[in-house]
Amino acid sequence: MSGSPIMESVSSASVRQLAGRGSVREYRRGTYLFHQGDEAPEVFFLQDGRVEVSSLSATGHRQLLTTLEGSQFFGEIGVLGDLKRTSTAMALVDSEVWVVDGEVFASFISKEPAASRALLRALARQVTAHESLVDDLLFLDLKGRVAKRLLGLVSDLENLPSDGAVIPSVVTHADLASLCGGSRENVTRILSDFQRRKLIDRDGRRYVLVNVDGLAKLAGL
């Protein structure tokens, strides 16, 4: 937990004290941690495993928002904003998650200026990412959006990876379609075209970015 962006400038003693106020839960693959529209009484920290975060539109369209891997907090927006859950979280594999009462987490953040600033930076990045997605839908064609999403799954787009970078999580065609705002059929055709053009390849079930410069050009980067 001390190595997470929110806590990296907080003393180890303070982090240990917070950790002692929560408990560890194990979620089996396919188990939901929370659903969109639920009350938000708790904050989560992923210790091990992989968690998918998605949402449903008013018309019932599923939108994949992100796949969480590695040690990181999530579910804090509902707690800090006194809001209901805006998304659904599901364990993609057997996962170990630390959970703490939202009031305990909010009290800790209010007493730790470094953690407060780090959390604000993280929330600002989320807002920027959402604004960027809207711009992409307006100004990039689907092929460009797919290329940009593939790159974004590996890097922050400001420091593009080297050729040969492997997307760390298994991403299906339906997942990419949801991320890019297109149909699964069209995304499948685009991915096949990218493979023919040797922009990407497959390593088992994961994609490999073979030609990062080519993808960046399509993505307008």
Phi, psi angles (nearest 5°) of residue 85? -60, 130
pLDDT in tens, 1-50: 888 888 888 888 999 999 999 999 999 999 999 999 999 999 999 999 98
Q: Tokens representing 151?
A: 């790159």
Assess if CATH 1.10.10.10 describes domain 138-218.
yes
Name the pTM for this structure: 0.69
Question: Cβ neighbours of residue 35 under 8 Å, at least 6 residues apart?
Answer: 85, 88
160, 216 Cβ separation under 8 angstroms:
yes
Lowest mean pLDDT among 114-118, 174-178, 198-202: 174-178
pLDDT at 194: 92
CA 85 to chain centre: 16
State the amino acid at position 109 in one-letter form: I
CA distance 143 to 214: 12
Every domain of the chain with CATH number 2.60.120.10 lies at 12-129
133 pLDDT band, cuts 50/70/90, is low
Every domain of the chain with CATH number 1.10.10.10 lies at 138-218
CA distance 146 to 141: 9
Considering the four listed CATH numbers 2.60.120.10, 2.60.120.1600, 3.40.50.800, 1.10.10.10, the one that applies to the domain covering 12-129 is 2.60.120.10
